[in-house]
């Protein structure tokens, strides 16, 4: 009798997850997916009514969720919050900032705002969660929501692309450093996903044509396209996956 290998579990029961940028868009979708897989999810974002409403929505479907008002650009606040609420088995950082425009017109203020969240904030949030895991002697899965623009360039997106390329770089370095601690570090790199923040881009005929010309599957990405990837990377099914990018771009970067 030949014995069959056992499919690794995608269940996240018994796990605690921190999701930053969780009150809307991709971050909210990730929170819902992790809760649906059994994780206890702490939704973190800047204070506002939407955060509490997002927590209530997950609870209404039977998920375990709580709110954590947090601005990841405030490094000290991040360290205090993670130290107080952690350790977390899972991190999904979906907090992000975009101020698009021609590179020749980039202001220092716009540069600092985007770098402060997309690169600096992401770096120190990832470090804080890893530090808690190392201190507790626990393994973990840390995921930063990067972008296909972390692998290519884009129109009017010099600063944004720079920050996402940086995320790809520190992800690889951290994965090497923390592998011995059984902490996995990866990114998810979506194409343009339909959210409230991207509707203005899709409303511009030239921008939409550029997007559709590059997505080979000939459709705009939806939040649901990212949700399964988050559960996979967070779960034991991805136990040997670290230091890499899961690109969800409809074929954009294949060309």
Closest CA to 124 of 91, 159, 100: 91
Active-site residue flag, 160: yes
Task: Name every residue whose Cβ is closer than 8 Å to that of residue 192 and which is 6 or more positions away in sequence.
Answer: 198, 201, 202, 211, 215, 220, 221
Q: Could you tell me the sign of the dihedral formed by the alpha carbons of 134, 128, 88, 92, in that order?
A: negative
Residue among 28, 88, 123, 160 flagged as catalytic: 160
Instruction: Return phi, psi of residue 241, to 5°.
Output: -105, 115
Asked if residue 19 lies in contact with residue 94, where contact means CB atoms within 8 angstroms, the answer is yes
Among candidates 245, 88, 248, which has minimal Cα distance to 172?
A: 245
* Longest CA pairwise span in the chain (Å): 69
- As annotated, the active-site residues are 160
């Amino acid at each position: 009798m030949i014995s069959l290998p056992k499919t690794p579990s995608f269940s996240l029961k018994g796990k605690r997850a921190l999701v930053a940028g969780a009150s809307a868009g991709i971050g909210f979708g990730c929170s819902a997916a992790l809760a649906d897989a059994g994780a206890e999810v702490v939704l973190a974002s800047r204070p506002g009514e939407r955060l509490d409403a997002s927590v209530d929505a997950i609870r209404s479907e039977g998920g375990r969720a709580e709110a954590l008002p947090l601005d990841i650009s405030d490094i000290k606040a991040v360290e205090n919050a993670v130290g107080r609420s952690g350790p977390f088995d899972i991190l999904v950082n979906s907090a992000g900032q975009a101020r698009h425009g021609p590179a020749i017109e980039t202001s220092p203020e716009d540069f600092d705002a985007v770098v402060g969240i997309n690169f600096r904030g992401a770096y120190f949030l990832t470090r804080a969660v890893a530090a808690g895991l190392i201190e507790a002697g626990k393994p973990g899965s840390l995921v930063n929501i990067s972008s296909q623009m972390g692998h290519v360039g884009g129109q009017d997106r010099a600063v944004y692309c720079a920050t996402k390329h940086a995320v790809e770089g520190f992800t690889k370095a951290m994965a090497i450093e923390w592998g011995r601690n059984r902490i996995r570090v990866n990114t998810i790199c979506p194409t343009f996903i339909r959210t409230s923040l991207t509707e203005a881009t899709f409303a511009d005929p030239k921008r939409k044509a550029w997007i559709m010309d590059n997505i080979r599957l000939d459709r705009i990405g939806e939040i649901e396209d990212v949700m399964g990837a988050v559960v996979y990377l967070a779960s034991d099914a991805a136990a040997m996956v670290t230091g890499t990018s899961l690109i969800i771009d409809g074929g954009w970067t294949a060309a």
